[in-house]
């Protein structure tokens, strides 16, 4: 009767382990992830130090996490492209550049949120 529950708990456990392994691998290899994490820590400290509403804090924190997710996705794109071929190919460059643009646009969203909150 509880076989499905055990299977779900095992699945969640596996997913947690794999996610941690992905984070740890990216952390070890990607200086940009470490840099964005530092920016996130500073941003979070400021979000709690300043007189912001709960909604403003939530927006800042959520955009910060989204930025880290974008950086992880960019890392995944780069790894896959490099795995497929080490040859220079314009399609590979476009894929890597698009991944980088995802990070840049997400960072801009966080910056815009901060500007609007601080000006408003």
Give the active site residues. 71
Query: d(Cα 54, Cα 22) in Å, to the nearest integer?
Result: 31
Q: Which of 96, 64, 94, 91 is nearest to 79 (CA)?
A: 96
Query: d(Cα 77, Cα 96) in Å, to the nearest integer?
Result: 7
Question: Contact 48/57 with Cβ under 8 angstroms?
Answer: yes
Locate 43 and state its tokens.
């941003």
């Amino acid at each position: 009767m509880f076989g499905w529950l055990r299977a779900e708990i095992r699945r969640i456990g596996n997913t947690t382990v794999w996610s941690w392994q992905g984070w740890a691998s990216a952390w070890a290899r990607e200086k940009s992830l470490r840099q964005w994490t530092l920016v996130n820590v500073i941003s979070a400290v400021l979000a709690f130090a300043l007189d912001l509403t709960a909604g403003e804090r939530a927006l800042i924190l959520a955009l910060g996490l989204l930025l880290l997710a974008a950086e992880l996705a960019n890392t995944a794109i780069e790894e896959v492209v490099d795995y497929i071929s080490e040859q220079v190919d314009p399609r590979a460059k476009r894929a890597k550049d698009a991944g980088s643009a995802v990070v840049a646009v997400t960072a801009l969203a966080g910056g815009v949120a901060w500007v609007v909150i601080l000006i408003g």
